[in-house]
Structure formats: C-alpha cells, structure tokens
Structure 1
C-alpha cells in the first residue's frame, strides 16, 4: 500500500463484508491481513467505525494521536452490494 488512505479504504471495504458474513473465512482472513498492514506499515491501531447516513467515519490512533477519516458509503459498500446481487459468484467458504 502506498498510502494510509488506501490501506484504510481497503480494510474498511473488506471489513464491511466480513461483518456481514462472519462465517466467510476468506473475508475474515483478508480483513485481518489489512489490519496487519495498518499496524505494521502505518502504525495504526484502535480502528473504530461508525456509519452515519451516507458516510463511514473511521477513528484510529496513529503516533499517540486520535485521528478521523471519512469515506462515502457508496464506495465502501460496493463489494458487499455486488455479493448480494450475485451470490452465486461469491461462494461463502466457512471457517
């Protein structure tokens, strides 16, 4: 990942899927992979997410400072919506 913003975006996109599909091993592993990138490459911890209307608000700690970023819900939810529209293309591989 070249930027923290990209890493947060990728993590949040798959985390939304993982939250919706808790028994999907691939989604869980991919979300965990992005958490490790955030921790190891960008020194980000304690991510929390809140969805408000059409935005996801992400709070996180970096270098002992609490920070916030926002993402449009339509960008984050695109993967989950695709899975819901065409579930036959996205087999759920349970843990």
Structure 2
C-alpha cells in the first residue's frame, strides 16, 4: 500500500492534468483510482486543493481531524508541462 503522502502526490498530479484536460479518459480513470485510494485506503474526506505561486495545498478530513499537506508546484505541474510540450505523445483515445 502506498503512503498517504505518495497517494496525495499521485492524485494531485493527475488531478492537475484533468483540470486542464477534462476529456482525457486515461487521466480521468487514473484520477478516479487515486481518489478511491485516498477515500478507501486512507479514509480521507472533504478533499480540497488550493494553490499559491509556490505550493499546492491539499486539505482533507481524516479520523475526525482537518489536515493539510503541501507540494511544490514545480513537482506537481511536471506531468502537465510534459503533456503540453509533447501533445502528440498524449493523444486521447475516447472509450466507445
């Protein structure tokens, strides 16, 4: 099982992608998988994301407590930047 930190990082990285590419079916499926991991394996709820110039902040409830993790924007945005730099490698193949 992934650590909570790893699960949050993976979920946030792909969430940033689908926020910009909501029709990317592979990204949506991946985000759903990581979100399920957060809610079922780590018992998180009320997950919210905020961002400033330097960091993403993930706020969530776990075991009755409100908590927050932070991640540098440069680490989270790497996948989206890669997709935007080479879109021909990340073609969306919609399910039929």
2:23 aligned counterpart, secondary structure: coil
Structure 2 vs 1, CA of residues 64 and 76 (structure 1 numbering), >3 Å: closer, same or farther? same
Q: Which 4+ residue blocks in structure 1 deviate beyond 6 angstroms?
A: none
TM-score using structure 2 length: 0.94
Match of 2:67 in 1: 67
Question: After the TM superposition, which of the residue ranges 4-13 and 45-54 deviates more from structure 2?
Answer: 45-54
* Residue correspondences, number: 95
Q: Would the aligned equivalents of 1:23 and 1:93 in 2 still touch at CA under 8 Å? A: no
Per-residue deviation, 1:92? 1.7
2:6 aligned counterpart, secondary structure: helix
TM-score using structure 1 length: 0.95
CA distance in 2, matches of 1:74, 1:43: 27
CA distance in 2, matches of 1:36, 1:25: 16
CA distance in 2, matches of 1:2, 1:83: 25
